[in-house]
Amino acid sequence: MAFELPPLPYDYKDLEPHISAETLQFHHDKHHASYVTNLNNLTKDSPLADKSLEEVIKESVNDSAKTGIFNNAAQVWNHTFYWNCMKKDGGGSPTGELAEKINASFGSLDEFKKQFKEAGGTQFGSGYAWLVVDNGNLKIVKTPNAANPITSGHTPLLTADVWEHAYYLDFQNRRPDYLQTFLDSLINWEYVAEQYAKAK
């Protein structure tokens, strides 16, 4: 069964004025789609073609012969997760157990935002900032290129894509401004809470 490009969970214009329809069209329809195409070409007629995306990622990580497979599989997974971490009229504050856990782990939502923004802003080159569960604890990590926390046994709750194609049309070189906008106006806290509930 071929890997497929999932549709965006919202319309192209739904994240405006924060992320433009043009950015989503390029990012989803070109970049994300190309990772899906590449992954299908690389795994065609191999045992990996019938595996789940998570299985392909875990089986190809740290295998130099499968670097291309890992990079494309992880990017398909990372992008799908990233889209779901945002929504129209997003932002605000988490509620319930997730809010309590964030406050207990970071001291406050503002402190979480500060640390998350710093992680994404200091990721040299391309990559991602993540909020993950690690042995029951919330932790902020950053990963280079296509790397994914599931290969370290972490459960991702939230991610911000800091590859330049995620924000350059809208923010140019102002990655910190993009991250602040992501944190304040785009996060789908209900989705993050769903991931937290599954991770417990």
pLDDT at 1: 57
**DSSP state, residue 149:** G
- Of the candidates 173, 183, 181, 192, the residue with the CA atom closest to the CA atom of residue 16: 181
pLDDT at 52: 95
Distance CA 82, CA 46 (A): 28
pLDDT at 163 over 60: yes
The domain ranges of the chain are: 20-84, 96-199
Q: Tell whether pTM > 0.85.
A: yes
Taking CA atoms, 23 is separated from 15, 32, 109, 129, 148, in Å, by: 10, 12, 28, 19, 23
What class, spelled out in words, does domain 96-199 have in CATH? alpha beta
pLDDT at 198 over 70: yes
User: If you average pLDDT over every residue of the chain, what do you get?
Assistant: 97
Q: Are residues 76 and 6 in contact, defined by beta-carbon separation less than 8 angstroms?
A: no
Provide the token pair at 29.
């329809």
Q: Are residues 134 and 154 in contact, defined by beta-carbon separation less than 8 angstroms?
A: yes
Provide the token pair at 162.
């800091």
Question: Is 20-84 CATH 3.20.20.10?
Answer: no
Cα-Cα-Cα-Cα dihedral of 1, 61, 142, 149, to 10°? 60
Distance CA 170, CA 182 (A): 12
Q: What are 53-72's pLDDT values in tens digits?
A: 999 999 999 999 999 999 99
- Cα 153 from chain centroid (whole Å): 16
Average pLDDT on 154-181 reads: 97
Burial of 4 (0-12, 13-18, 19+ CB in 10 A): exposed
pLDDT at 200 over 90: no
